[in-house]
């Protein structure tokens, strides 16, 4: 356990600067979006009410009260989130390949550490999970700050107040990274962890068998995806709705655990038997 934690700390320190940059970009871009979108609405209200002399009630009937939901749906808010998701997706591959493709082939030094090689697999997976949870948690932290700035800029009579949970539930992109319940959190991030495990296993297959490994990785990924959704396919096309929803859900969870265990066993075999120092 001590060696595993040291590896996690080492891997996280390697990505800490990128993580900090993503946090900074997210906060700066979203806060700028709040200010720009709010000022745009206020300028429009000023133009219509005080210059064109439109009654305030008519303006509100025409344009409506502004809510924070309009800012969340803008590119200022969702753009940084998409950037973070893309960065994490790229880093899932980079976290392995930079060790192999670097100048001094750093992976061999890692594999020679006095610990089981599977700890390296676990440490890299934990790092990806920590980064993802960290970005989602940071979004939750800055949400009240952004809403506070919005409330200070938009007067009460021009503002439609929405709770943070209501906003999240109305934006699918946010709902996927900030689920409304603990069970959904476990399911969403559990599925994400499973996908990372499948990709990691595919990378190790490619590293073990080179060009043949690419084909093996693709086939392995397809087989894992098929196994995961096989209960759904059986329910719809073979058993004609035989299982109750709760039973079907349990079967999918069990199949996901089986696929995850297969990823661990396959990766352990590859790291121990096929990747030599």
pLDDT tens figures, 150-194: 899 888 888 888 888 888 888 887 888 888 778 888 888 999 999
pTM of structure: 0.88
**pLDDT given for residue 240 in this prediction:** 67
pLDDT tens for 198-236 read: 999 999 998 888 888 899 999 999 999 999 888 888 777
Residue that is written with structure tokens 């009260």 in the block:
65
Tell me which range, 146-150, 182-186, 246-250, is most confidently predicted by mean pLDDT.
146-150
Q: What is the DSSP string of 21-79?
A: HHHHHHHHHHHHHHHHHHHHHHHHHHIIIIIS---HHHHHHHH--B-HHHHHTSHHHHH
The yes-or-no verdict on residue 139 having pLDDT over 80 is: yes
The domains of the chain are located at: 179-277
Determine the straight-line distance between the first and last CA of the chain, rounded to whole angstroms: 23
41: pLDDT confidence band, cut at 50, 70 and 90? confident
pLDDT tens for 44-74 read: 888 887 787 777 787 788 878 888 888 888 8
- Percentages (nearest 5) of helix, strand, coil residues in the chain: 85, 0, 15
**CA separation for the pair 247, 271 (Å, rounded):** 36
Q: Compute CA 123 distance to the chain's CA centroid, rounded to the nearest angstrom.
A: 18
pLDDT tens for 74-125 read: 888 999 999 999 999 999 998 888 878 765 567 777 777 777 888 888 999 9
């Amino acid at each position: 356990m001590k060696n595993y934690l040291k590896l996690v700390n080492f891997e996280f320190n390697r990505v800490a600067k990128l993580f900090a940059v993503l946090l900074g970009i997210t906060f700066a871009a979203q806060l700028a979006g709040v200010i720009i979108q709010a000022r745009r609405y206020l300028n429009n209200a000023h133009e219509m009410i005080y210059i064109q002399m439109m009654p305030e009630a008519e303006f509100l009937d025409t344009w409506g009260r502004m809510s924070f939901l309009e800012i969340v749906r803008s590119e200022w808010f969702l753009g940084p989130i998409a950037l973070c998701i893309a960065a994490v997706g790229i880093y899932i591959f980079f976290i392995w390949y930079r060790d192999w493709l670097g100048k001094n082939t750093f992976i061999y030094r890692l594999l020679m550490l006095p610990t089981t090689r599977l700890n390296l697999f676990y440490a890299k997976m934990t790092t990806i999970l920590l980064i993802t949870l960290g970005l989602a948690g940071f979004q939750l932290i800055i949400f009240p700050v952004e809403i506070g700035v919005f409330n200070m800029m938009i007067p009460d009579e021009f503002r439609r107040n929405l709770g943070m949970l209501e906003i999240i539930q109305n934006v699918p992109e946010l709902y996927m990274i900030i689920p409304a319940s603990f069970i959904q959190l476990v399911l969403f991030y559990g599925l994400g962890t499973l996908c990372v495990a499948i990709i990691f296993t595919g990378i190790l297959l490619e590293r073990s068998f080179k060009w043949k490994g690419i084909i093996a990785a693709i086939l392995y990924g397809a087989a894992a995806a098929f196994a995961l959704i096989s209960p759904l396919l059986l329910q719809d096309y073979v058993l004609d709705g035989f299982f109750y929803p709760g039973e079907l859900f349990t079967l999918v969870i069990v199949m996901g655990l089986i696929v995850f265990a297969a990823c661990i066993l396959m990766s352990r075999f590859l790291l121990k038997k096929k990747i030599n120092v």
